[in-house]
Every structure is written in structure tokens, then in C-alpha cells.
A and B are shown apart, each in its own frame.
Chain A
Amino acid sequence: MAMAVHAAQKARRRSLVSYLLLTMALGSVFLGIKVVEYSHKFHDRLVPGPNFLFSGPRGEHAELFYSFYFAMTGFHALHMIVGIGILAVIVWMAHRDRFTADYYNPVENTGLYWHFVDIIWIFLFPLLYLVGHHG
């Protein structure tokens, strides 16, 4: 994404389109991994609700954790889906040669949004996947 903004600033249309498509592809890979991860959770009955089943002690704490897990990763994934949708519009505009070295604000703003969602993940990943493994 950062390289796409760079290409836009330099008015390199072809590399702008390529970098945007690459961003969308990598975002889709991330979402694909999430789909696999979620289906494992459903299979292991770790989704909070009447079917929740946790074999270890303090099951109600585990259920609370998985509520946070699904709410936070779910909203993050939702923002990424929106981001990929915005990127689809931007890549179409770039393909139609709508941007110049003087006018690329939509690309820049899409980058700001995408990087913000990235920052959320920088915090969510250690909080949900790493911290508390020793407790």
C-alpha cells in the first residue's frame, strides 16, 4: 500500500495498479487464513453461545475470552473487507488514469485507512494470540 502511494506520487500508473492489486491480494490471503481459523473454532465448539464447550477449568472465563476474540477479530476483518472494497474502486480509477502526480488524494486517504486497520492488528495480534499463554 505504501508503495502504491509512492507510485501515485510519481504518476506511474502501471505500478500503481500492480501495487494496489498486490495489497488486495495480500489482504485476501489474511482473510482466507481467518476463514480457516474460524472454521477450526466452530469445529472445536469454541464459539460463545449454547454450543460452547471448554474442557479445561474456568470455562466461563474462556467463553468471555472467545467473545472478545470473535468481536475484535470480526470487526477487524469487517474493516478489511471494506478496505478491499475501497481498494477495488481506487484500482479501477487508477486503471482509468484518473490520478496524476498532483491529484492522488484518494490513493493517499485509502492508504491512511489501510494503515490504520494495520495498526489495530499490530495490537490485536499479541493481545489475542500471545499474551496470557503462561497464566
Chain B
Amino acid sequence: MAHHDDQDLLPTPGQRVGTFLKRKDVSQTFVLGIFFTAVFVVLGLWVYPHWMPNVMSKEMQGNEDIMIWFTVISAPIAGVVLAIAMESFINMHRGDTPPPEDGPGIKTHGPVVVIWSAVSVLFTIVAIVWGITEMNTWSSDALAGSNNALVVDVTGSQWNWSFNYPAQGITSHELNLPINQPVEFRVISADVNHSFWPVQLGVKVDANRLSTTIARTTPDKLGVFDVKCAELCGLNHAYMETAGHVESVADFNNWVSQAKATGGTQQ
């Protein structure tokens, strides 16, 4: 097409967008894009609540929400990428010789690059703001609860966990927590690095030799949770796990007094 013909019949931007949208490949890509976006939205909404274990704290709910909503937010971007890829895949040329003619010689397209970059910057900012807001919520919750927090000294050693309740004066290999009371885990290691992971409570922190690290949460559902080690710590790393319990305040106090009666140390 000669260049001056374009000049004579130059369409308005509105007409150009209209023609663009009427093209068959564009409408096909559009449909594919909706389809892939929907797939990712459904995956995000369905998969994580089904895969992830019971939610037993606000922190755990926060984690699950991030995984769900980050998937949903990124769904349109994934949709666009996969739609364009699929549209070209459908139009493939097969055979042992190269395609008879070249495709359109599009070297770049300024507005597309700018819009694409702007969208990804925007998406990144949303993710950052979400993350920082969540971190701030955790910190302010922890600060608000710090006065009446139950302190548990957690010691990781090859290959078990032990829990010391300094205020109650008991030591145990069992982790029992009262419901709805903020808890502060002060974590340390007796030997190599471990990582203290009360799974359903949604927090985690490494256990280091001679340096105390802190994790805070407030269990808000009764039930059993898993305590695992999330840092390779040698031979029996896989078996360095135990069960924890979130109990009613009465049950917890009961357990504390029983433990004290047996000398303050319970296996």
C-alpha cells in the first residue's frame, strides 16, 4: 500500500479503533482472552480455599486472601498473554518448508509498549500496597495485643520442638494455646537453623542459634494445628513436627495447672 493513499483516506482514531475491533483475529483473541481470564479467576477463587488447610487466625486468612486476590488481579494479564499466544497457535503453519509469505512487519508499537508498562507498574503498585497494608495490620494488631500477649519460648533442636511458658512456669513438647488471646512466640535454636511453622496459624520464623526471633499471631478457632520445621535441619528434618491445640480458656488453664502439678515439665 502506497503511503500517500493512507494520507488521503486517513481515518479518525475512532474509526481506526472500530475497524480494529471488527477484525476477525481481534474478536477471536478477545473471546480467548475472556476465557483465559475466567479460568484464572475461577482457579484463584476455587483452588486456594480448597488446597490450603483450616484458617485458624487472622494472619492465615490474610495469606489465603493474598493468594486468591493476586491470582484474580493477574488473571486479565495472563488472559491477554495466553489469548494472543493461543490465537497465533491456532493459525499455525505446518509442514517442512517455511511459510510462503512473511507476516506483517510490525517492529514495535509505541502506545502498546507504554500502556503495557503502565499497567504492569500499576499492578506492581497494587501488590506492594496490599502487602504493606497487610504487614502494617499485623504489626498494629501485635502492638495492640502486646500487653496481654501469652509469651511462649520456642526452642528448636535436632529434631524436636520444646515450648516454655515463662509466665506459667511450665515446659512442654506440646503447644497449647488459648483461643482469642494474642500469642508471642520467641524462637531460638539449640543447634542448627530450624524454622518454626505453626501451619494453620499462618506465621513462620526461623530458629537461629543464640538470636531470638519473634512471631506473633492470635488463634481464633478451636482445633488442632500442625507445627512443622520449614528449614532443612539434618537427618530427621521431615519428622520434626508435632501437633498444637487451640483450646478454650478454661481448657488451657486446666492444662496449665495439671502441668504445674506434675512439676512444671510435661512431655
Q: Do A and B bind each other?
A: no
B residues near A (Cβ < 8 Å) are none
